[in-house]
Amino acid sequence: MLTLTGGEWSRRRIEVTAREVTRYTPQIARKAIFDIIDVEGKNFLDAFSGSGVMVFEALSRRAKQATAIDVSHTACKTIRRNMGRLDPSMKLEILCGDFRRMLPLLAEREERFDFVFADPPFDRNYMPSFLKSLSENISILNLGSLIIVETSEGESLFEEREEARFLKLIDRRNYANVVFTFLVMSNEVPR
């Protein structure tokens, strides 16, 4: 079980998927992230959602709407169960599928997000393809959208990645042996 760190559902616990399948953002890091960002009234996307803890943290803090993407059917079922335990009427959409298919779907539906959180598995090198897919579906970002990426301490810097050329680094924080990189769209991106 994971404990939510703030908002309406503070200290409520949610179910997790099997440890071998999903790595969770540490509680201290989740609290720190949501102390930094203000999600109230905003749309929040988690591209590698796992148990849904980040979307539930956002919705607990009055995000307008959240979307959870995960390729694992087990993870999607866990998110649905957690939704039922917290508030079945919450504004949460669960998309069970690969982000490379789901981001184009969101763009096609003209969905827009103020915050995009991405915490891909550290050992699978998903970051280049995630950034490429995000750049190809840039219309899902609102002007001023914040992209928060969780990576291992050893992953290469975003400034070195061709896939990140449309993003501008605004902050980087280390919590509990993981790195959170805060990015916004650069002014050079055609919309």
Task: Identify the CATH number of the domain in which residue 171 sits.
Answer: 3.40.50.150
Give DSSP secondary structure letters for 115-169: EEEE---GGGT-HHHHHHHHHHTGGGEEEEEEEEEEEETTSPPGGG-GGGTTEEE
Tens of pLDDT along 74-106? 999 999 999 999 999 899 999 999 999 999 999
The mean per-residue pLDDT over the stretch 165-183 comes to: 86
- Answer whether residue 191 is part of any domain: no
pLDDT of residue 190: 47
Total tally of structural domains belonging to the chain? 1
On the CB side of 97, how many CA atoms lie within 13 Å of its CA?
Answer: 11
pLDDT of residue 162: 65
Higher-confidence residue of 61 and 24: namely 61
* CA–CA gap between residue 71 and residue 156 (Å, rounded): 24
Domain that holds residue 75: 2-185
User: What average pLDDT does the structure give for the chain?
Assistant: 87
Tens of pLDDT along 136-161? 999 999 988 999 998 877 765 555 56
Task: Say which range, 5-9, 46-50, 119-123, has the weakest mean pLDDT.
Answer: 119-123
pLDDT of residue 26: 77
Higher-confidence residue of 128 and 93: namely 93
- Answer whether residue 190 is part of any domain: no
Higher-confidence residue of 81 and 26: namely 81
pLDDT of residue 166: 76
- Answer whether residue 37 is part of any domain: yes
pLDDT of residue 20: 57
The strand pairing partners of 146, in sequence order, are 115
On the CB side of 174, how many CA atoms lie within 13 Å of its CA?
Answer: 5
Q: Which residue has the tokens 């508030």?
A: 87
Residue type, 4: L
- Answer whether residue 39 is part of any domain: yes
Q: Within a 10 A sphere around the Cβ of 162, how many other Cβ atoms?
A: 9
